[in-house]
């Protein structure tokens, strides 16, 4: 199994799978107003409000699979159960990187090429 297909598990109120699939990325784009490139680039500079939104989108499929209703307010509460703030940020970065494949820069390069074609 490739490291890119392995789930990112974060221990919060319980072990939760953090994943940014198609639906999560669309939701994240809608909630932040950022492009996919900006989402990929911003993972090293997130403020607390951004972290809640990223986690909300990334934890949604886990919550649905467990029959939970997730909200931004609930995410705010469960983030308090994390081992450390650093762990939260590292897990977000890992999950975003895995969603874009081994090399996040490949996406940036492909998008830059597409822009030059227009």
Residue pair 23/100 in contact (Cβ under 8 Å)? The answer is no
How far is it between the farthest Cα atoms of the chain?
47
Predicted local distance difference test score (pLDDT) of residue 77 = 95
Predicted local distance difference test score (pLDDT) of residue 118 = 47
DSSP state of 84: -
Predicted local distance difference test score (pLDDT) of residue 29 = 95
Predicted local distance difference test score (pLDDT) of residue 5 = 57
Residue 36 CB partners (closer than 8 Å, separation 6+): 25, 29, 100, 107, 111
Is 47 in a helix, a strand, or coil?
A: coil
Residues of the chain with pLDDT under 70: 1-5, 102-118
Predicted local distance difference test score (pLDDT) of residue 3 = 54
Query: What are the b/e assignments for 52-83, b being 16+ CB within 10 Å?
Result: bbbbbbbbbbbbeeeeeebeeebbeebbeebe
The pLDDT tens digits for 37-48 are: 888 888 888 889
């Amino acid at each position: 199994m490739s490291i890119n297909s392995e789930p990112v598990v974060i221990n919060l109120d319980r072990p939760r799978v953090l994943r940014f699939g198609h639906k999560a990325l669309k939701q994240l784009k809608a909630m932040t107003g950022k492009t996919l490139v900006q989402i990929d680039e911003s993972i090293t500079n997130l403020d607390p409000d951004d972290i809640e939104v990223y986690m909300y989108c990334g934890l949604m499929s886990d919550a649905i699979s467990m029959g939970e209703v997730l909200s931004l307010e609930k995410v705010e509460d469960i983030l308090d159960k994390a081992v450390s703030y650093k762990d939260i940020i590292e897990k977000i970065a890992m999950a975003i990187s895995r969603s874009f494949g081994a090399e996040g820069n490949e996406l940036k390069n492909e998008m830059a090429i597409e822009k030059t074609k227009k």
